[in-house]
Chain A
């Protein structure tokens, strides 16, 4: 194996208090991101992608990490002091969000918001920060940056606002950029531009990119490896080309089948899999996908399959892989099983 991963997430559980008692929105998620690599996290709405990524930054709000570990360059972030997490946010870990239109403070200029990010982590004269802000805006391809630095968010289009978000994320040269559905709120041509921008920035700054999306087409275009999530669990992971060519998990296959072909009408963004992701509170017994699964077996409603490691770097959570297993008691969910 090459150098140890930049980020290592191990068996992460995120719990939210709800009126009906605590629920686990993320239940036993593990993945790694190496320096400079692009990892896509894919899954339908409600599968826990945002919650997982916010957990990495310590920005869960009412929720908390109830178990697991997050290692950034071997430093444990779970249970780290809030001040330490604050230092890492923006400097080592940056994040951009789904809705650029509401992600910038409406009362401050673009320049002020960039300057604030620049000065949050290192002492910097206001004027120097201002000049750097203009430079960053130019770098992310915002036209007329000298003027735009004085603009307010409402004076920019959604795509321009997302460019500003990228500029903010780049201020301190983070090691990892998390992009949570950065193009979902934008139209198709702008989406392509923003993805291209992310790719360029990643190459030029040598960052790792954790790209969250529910669009398999974006995964195919952008990522080296993919982590497929469903209802708070990882159901499949592996190198993108391989997973797309021969998905091993029925959920992944369904997602791939839902990539729009040129024949699919444009106004229908994604021919959905019938049904929807259960909320954490109503997750079914057994495999969480079984009520919607085309290949469902009897045992799928009884016990949850483990994540079978099909070979190093390739895993899938499905009873279909059980054929290769020795007879014995059903392994506990969440446990990783090696298939010879």
Chain B
């Protein structure tokens, strides 16, 4: 079990390194750099611009820049923003909590709603409820999350004359304000996952409800509620866990747009602006964060697998 976790962790680190290097190089291949964008239309001479490039090290070959960056990174120094010269680490740590809150809540809400909808659809299979829930799930699956967000914003504004506050408040300072501001973003980000989880929960519960071991549980005279919520649900969790890893990628991608739409000061906004500005150190730092979050989640999911399924725990592969 420990070996298994360590191996996963090893893979994770390798993936993060590869992603970092990839982004590092790709950013520098994109036309335009921070200097030309900053000095655009200012009439600064080419010599002055080159001097600035030299200061940032942008005139070195890519591999030299990469080497220097890595040398800093291993000491915990991810460089400074090309714009306000603030250390990237500080800039970034200030933004992380918002994105983590948003992503985590979206995943939680999406999973909880998805499981609920999936279970109801599975036990009412073939009924009107089942069909309605499935249509609803497909609808949410096919509409991008920013569209859901826009629709919700419009609906609340039109029907209830309500719109979320524009300035972000820390939950510790103003919980109500925070909740009001987070509600629509969380829901919009969670819906895609909710629909996917609902569909998968329904189909894997139907499969397990028709299985031999469920027949045994029923033959023991166990209450139907226990059959569904204990045995069938738990056996369906394995498939759903796999999906959650993929879902996280979608949710994290979604935060970039959603944070901008709702003025949430998270890493999504940071990376968005940094890409436009070619602020390489910030982009790379954000990338590491996203990749790291993803890798950690995948490892957590693997651990959860083992927690749910004793066959994985004892090293016997699932058929």
Contacts and interface: CB of A to CB of B under 8 A. Distances in A.
Contact of B220 (A89, A102, A107, A108): A89
Interface residues of A, number: 34
Given A106-B310, A155-B314, A97 B220 contact: no
B308 interface: yes
Interface stretch (B26-34, B157-165, B208-216, B242-250): B208-216
Contacts of B235: 105-107
Contacts, number: 81
B212 A89 contact: no
Contact of A121 (B221, B231, B316): B221
A89 B221 contact: yes
Contacts of B220: 89-90, 116-117, 120, 168, 171
Contacts of A91: 221
A103 B221 contact: no
B222 interface: yes
B222 A116 contact: yes
A120 B216 CA distance: 13
A165 interface: yes
Interface residues of B, number: 25
A95 B213 contact: no
Interface string B218-242: 1111111010000100110000000
B213 A103 contact: yes
Contacts of A82: 224
A108 B220 CA distance: 15
Contacts of B218: 59, 89
A104 interface: yes
Contacts of A113: 216
Nearest to B235: A107
A82 B225 CA distance: 13
Nearest to A108: B231
Nearest to B212: A102
Interface in A85-114: 86-91, 94-95, 97, 99, 102-109, 113
B217 interface: yes
Interface string B288-319: 00000000000000000000111100101000
Given A107-B308, A107-B310, A154-B316, A88 B221 contact: yes
B202 to A, nearest CB: 17
A103 B310 contact: no
Contact of A103 (B215, B223, B234, B309): B215
A106 B309 contact: yes
Given A86-B221, A87-B221, A104 B216 contact: yes
Contacts of B210: 61
Contacts of A95: 219
Given A106-B310, A152-B310, A154-B316, A99 B221 contact: no
Interface of A: 57, 59, 61, 82, 86-91, 94-95, 97, 99, 102-109, 113, 116-117, 120-121, 152, 154-155, 165, 168, 171-172
20 contacts: A59-B218, A82-B224, A86-B223, A90-B219, A90-B221, A90-B222, A97-B212, A102-B211, A102-B212, A102-B213, A103-B212, A103-B216, A104-B216, A105-B214, A107-B309, A117-B222, A152-B311, A154-B310, A168-B216, A171-B220
Given A59-B219, A87-B221, A89-B221, 6 more contacts: A89-B218, A103-B212, A103-B215, A103-B216, A105-B214, A117-B222
